[in-house]
Amino acid sequence: MIRNEIRGWLENQEFRFNGDAIRRAYDSRDKNPGHIAIRVLVILGTLLSAVLIVSILFSFGIYDSEIAMLVTGIAGLLAGMWIHLKRQSDVTDTISISLILMGYASIAFALGEWKIDTGLICGSLIVISVACFIFSKNFILPFLSVVSACIYLFIWVQAKCPPVFIPLLYSALAVALLPVYLFEGNLLDLLRKKGYQYQPLRLGLLASVLAGLYIFSPFFLRGLQEFPFKHYQLYFSVPVSLICLSAVACLLRETRFAPGSWKIAIFLIIVLVLGLTLFAPAIGLSLYLLVITFYNAHKTGTVISIVSLCFAIGLYYYDLHFSLLVKSLLLMLPGLVFLAGYWLITRAER
């Protein structure tokens, strides 16, 4: 049901709108109100169910035959998609997404068993993910589709391209976040009827950029691996630092919260922080994500960025090749600078 406040507001607008469609959208929202706790439960549950279904198929020996695997996979995908499109609700999504994930895994296993080229496997899985994103509704399936498409893109680049392409793809995803977070209005104008896919696209891209850095770069989860070439970190940090600076410049121009001199000071502080942490790419990325998610009022994104920033700062100091005494001074100095900044802001507020 459209609230009176919205109805009154709409009547005073000059643009044309479809009143019936808006009412239907509100009715559908009232019928199926989403909640973050339910979404988390559904994502957890569907992943768990998918793993269990795949294990059961394994134990029954279906995966001994590649053809059976492929047939099961395609059947799972089609059945899951059919249920998802037929009954669009979080309840049926628990079953449909489990089936789709099972289908996805089965197709990947079948193609893997046939020793098909990695590029072809990744390509087909990316196509399936993109198709799922285009045809899906609600939040969970489009979100999982974006994440899986990006992850398979990373796997494909890692397997088929020279190492410099990983930071390139990572930077491209970081650039893609800019319009999603800073120009939401333009994007909604572009998507129009598909506007419901904005939120899963936003969170999916954010998760993919983080996965790109933490999983597909050699600095974090993959341990101390040989870098493909010298100063490989700079290939990750320099583009993201530049993107971060352009985002900050754009936001400082738009927001009117401080006089010009303060804006220059803030910009210079961020340049200094990014410059000092060029060899720690996670700090630049986390800072960039924190700025854009806070601007966009994306609470989940802000929390993820804060956690990532804490982890990145901890790792930065852990990896410094100095004695504990020098490290302590390097910790205390910026600490005192931040405290002085807090004191200055408090004083200026008065």
Partner 1 sequence: MDREDIHIIAGNSDWPAKGIEAALKDKVYPDARDWLKFIKWSFLALGITLTLSGIVFFFAYNWDYLHKFSKMGLIGAALVFLVAPTVMPRLNRHTRNATLTAASVMAGVLFAVFGQIYQTGANAFDFFLAWALFTAVWVAVSRFPILWLLYFILLNTTWFLYVEQVAPERMSGYGLVIATAANFCFLVAVHARPRFFDSYLQGPGWLAYCISVASAAIAVVSFGYALSGPDRWIRLSAASLLLTALCFFLFNKGMQTRKLFYISLVCVVLLFAGILLAEKLIEGKNALIIDILFVAAGLYGMVSYLLKLNKSWKNDTK
Task: Please identify, using beta-carbon distances, which residue of 30 and 226 lies nearer to partner 1.
Answer: 30
Rounded to a whole number of angstroms, the minimum distance from the CB of residue 119 to partner 1 is 33
| CA 124 to chain CA centroid, nearest Å | 22
Rounded to a whole number of angstroms, the minimum distance from the CB of residue 35 to partner 1 is 5
Task: Please identify, using beta-carbon distances, which residue of 51 and 211 lies nearer to partner 1.
Answer: 51
Rounded to a whole number of angstroms, the minimum distance from the CB of residue 145 to partner 1 is 19
Q: How far apart are CA 273 and CA 228, in angstroms?
A: 26
Q: How far apart are CA 217 and CA 233, in angstroms?
A: 9
Cβ contact 316:277 at 8 Å? yes
Task: Please identify, using beta-carbon distances, which residue of 9 and 82 lies nearer to partner 1.
Answer: 9
Task: Please identify, using beta-carbon distances, which residue of 50 and 157 lies nearer to partner 1.
Answer: 50
Task: Please identify, using beta-carbon distances, which residue of 19 and 162 lies nearer to partner 1.
Answer: 19
Place of tokens 């607008």: 13
Rounded to a whole number of angstroms, the minimum distance from the CB of residue 225 to partner 1 is 28
- For residue 245, the 8-state DSSP code is H
Cβ contact 92:83 at 8 Å? yes
Task: Please identify, using beta-carbon distances, which residue of 112 and 334 lies nearer to partner 1.
Answer: 334
- For residue 152, the 8-state DSSP code is H
Instruction: Work out the angle between the directed axes of helices 118-135 and 66-86 (0-180°, nearest 10).
Output: 20
Rounded to a whole number of angstroms, the minimum distance from the CB of residue 292 to partner 1 is 11
Q: CA distances (Å), 165 to each of 172, 217, 241, 299, in order?
A: 10, 11, 18, 31
- For residue 321, the 8-state DSSP code is -
Rounded to a whole number of angstroms, the minimum distance from the CB of residue 319 to partner 1 is 14
